[in-house]
Each structure stands twice: as structure tokens, then as C-alpha cells.
Amino acid sequence: MIAAAAALTACSDAPTAVPSANATQARAATAQDPNDPAAPAGLVTVGTSTFWPYTGENFTGTPQDPINAIFTGYADPLRIRAALRRLDGNRTGFGMPNVPPFNCTWKDAIGGEQAVYGEAVGWTGSAVQLACGDWSLRFHLRLFAQGAVTVAGTHMDLNIPGTNEHEVISWELPEQLLTVDMIRAGILAAAPTLTGQINAAPTFREIRAPVYAGIPPVLKAIAGITAGPQIPTNGQATLFNIGRAEPIVPDVVEQQFTIQFNQFIPKPFCGGPTDFLFVQGPIVFTGRAQVTPSGTYHRESSATADLTAVPVNPLTGQPIGAPLHALVTDDHLAGITPAGVSARAHQLQQLFDGAGVLQASQDDKISAGTIGRDDVTRVVNCGQ
């Protein structure tokens, strides 16, 4: 799978100084909203910062990904982004092969919004998401500003064939690649170190059985998942003390691509355990991220799908009902300005019958940041 992934052209952006939005002031621009969700259980303290050592897809305190990187010093997410963006993909000096995804370069990611909690600013979102590698196999990094520090979750994930979904397969390998790149950036005040154990070990989460079964042995070996579907982790985070203020450079990252959905899936809403669909059709992704000359940041992306969904018998795969028409939109908007940090997403999934009559829908929204209220909503309409 690694050898088959498309190679990325290495680049090295020469940084030029521009005015910064001063993300530290942006983070402090708004006090914690007393109406925001309560702090989750299990906070930890590293140095002078107290935070929840996980990310969440909502504000219930249900862990999604472990926090496995912590930045101090000049820890502005936009400075970290700028440092990683100017690197080429040559990591051979650190023992990594010159093949995808290990010779990838960093760009702004298209990914789901998550939230973290810290005592500095409460719940907040990841305005800056970065990816190294292409859609099929990549390293994914989410940066969350928390006062004077930035905490991060990084993982390696692969695209499940025939779907738009990614499956996490490693926590430790992407942490190692990030460590290599922070060293290559030349901005650290000292060698990276590790915290004590701050989250689950020796494993956290597991790969879904059908996905695990389809992963080639060589990729399992590289990701360290040869013992089973549980994803190994030492429960520690790497500490990066950044000693030099990386210039924040204006740039624009644009991307557009289409994948073909072609898979049997459980009915995603308004269905029971035996309700399955065979779904086919294109999903068009677009993304744009920009750092302005004044040092502000804006990220937006969308995925739109126009699909055919046929009810099927999950045991035989044979059709058992008339085809449905599925429309999906998934929009993301995030930014860093002097007013603060924001990250929002809105996904609408709709199922219509052959006559165009709406049969069911699910409407999901999330908002996380220091601007506005942190909130998650879901509205499901299952018809009559």
C-alpha cells in the first residue's frame, strides 16, 4: 500500500517575515463562557499546564484520540504550521525510506473537527489541521492552542477502500515522524523529551475487524499492529520546547479531488442492526487554507456527495428494496484572528425515495473555539 501511494513533490518554502496576529492574545481575547460544557474528568498537569489528555468529537468527556505532543515556548499553531510547511520530504537521514508516505510534505488537512479541554481557555477546537501524505495513507496532526502551550494529537490513518472514511492505525509512528520534523526544522531550544504517562497504555482504541483484516502485513509491521487490532501507545506525549519564533508566512493551500463510494455499509441513521445499504457514487472534496499578509488564518473545506443507496440483505448482499437517493454535504470552517479561535462543521445527510420524497435525514453540527459557544447538536428525522 505504501509503495502504491502517489508520491508527493518535495518543496522548501523560503520564509519571509510578516506581521503576526499574535495568537497568544487571540487565545486570551475571550474569557471562558460560563454556559460552555463542563470540564471532563481525568485532567492532567504537565509543567504549568492542566488539560484533558484526549481529544473528543463532542464535549461529553468521551476520549477520541490521545494527546501525544505538547509544544512550549514559541508554540503558536501558525508558527508550528509554518515550520512544518517549509520542510522538504527527505527524511532519509533519520532512517525513514524515500517512499510515500515517509517522503511526504505537510499541507492543511481535510478532516473532522475535534475539541480539547484545558484550564487556560476551556474547550477549544483545532483551527490548524495538517496532513502529510495523500488521502489513501497519511499522517494527520491537529493543533489545539491552550494558553501559552499548544497540545496536539497526531495519528496515521488510511482510507477505507470504497468509502470516504479514514481508520487510525498508529499513534506512535506519526509521533516519531513529527519528532523528526521538529528536529529538522531547527527551531527547538532543546532535544525533545517525553512526559510521564498521561493517557491510556499499552493500547488505545482498536482497528475495526474488517479493516484490520485487509491491511497488508508489511503495513501492519510498519505501524506496529502485528499483535492484533489494538493500537499500541506508551501513553506519553513528546515535549517540544520551541526556542525560535518561526516567521508566519502568507500562503494559500488549495486542493480538490473526487473519490468513488462503492461499499456495503450499515444504514447510518434511522435503521436497525440488520439494515444495510449498498452505496455508490462520487464524493467531491474541496479545501482551501490561507494565511493572510496580516498573519490571520482561514481554513474551509467541503465534501458533497450524490449517491445511490440500495437496501440489501447483509448476509447475501442482494437487493431487498427500491434504490434510494442520498445527498450529503459536509462543510468545515475554521480560523485564527485577533478575536480568537474558531472551528465549526455542519454535516447534512438525506435519503430520498425514487419520487424525490424525503425519507430520513440526520443533521450534525459542532462548534469549538474561543469565539462563541462550544456546542454539538444532532437532529434526526426518520419520517413516519
**What is the tens place of the pLDDT at every residue in 104-146?**
999 999 999 999 999 999 999 999 999 999 999 999 999 999 9
pLDDT at 33: 64
Nearest alpha-carbon partner for 49 in 145, 126, 149, 116: 149
Confidence (pLDDT) at 281: 98
Q: What does the alpha-carbon distance between residue 261 and residue 161 come to, in Å, rounded to a whole number? A: 8
Task: Tell me the C-alpha distance between 122 and 33, whole Å.
Answer: 8
For residue 79, the surrounding DSSP H or E stretch is helix 77-85
Q: Which helix (H) or strand (E) holds 366?
A: strand 358-369
Cα–Cα distance measured from residue 23 to residue 373, given in angstroms and rounded to the nearest whole number: 19
Of 265, 259, 257, 256, nearest in space to 351 by CA:
265
DSSP string across 147-180: TTEEEEEEEEEEEPTTSS-EEEEESHHHHHHHHH
Give the model confidence (pLDDT) of 244-276 as tens digits: 999 999 999 999 999 999 999 999 999 999 999
Domain ranges of the chain: 23-242, 251-381
pTM of the model: 0.90
Confidence tier at 341 by pLDDT (50, 70, 90) = very high
Strands (E), 47-136: 49-51, 69-73, 106-108, 115-118, 122-125, 128-134
Q: Grid coordinates representing 163?
A: 468509502
Beta strands 69-73 and 149-159 are antiparallel
Q: Computed over its alpha carbons, how large is the radius of gyration of the chain?
A: 21
Bridge partner list, 381? 361
Measure the CA–CA gap between 207 and 214, rounded to whole angstroms: 11
Report whether 64 contacts 56 (CB < 8 A). yes
Residue 35's pLDDT is 73
Nearest of 302, 383, 281 to residue 347 by alpha carbon: 302
Under a CB-based contact definition with an 8 Å cutoff, are residues 150 and 183 in contact? no
Longest pairwise C-alpha distance within the chain: 65
Q: Report the percentage of the chain scoring pLDDT > 90.
A: 89
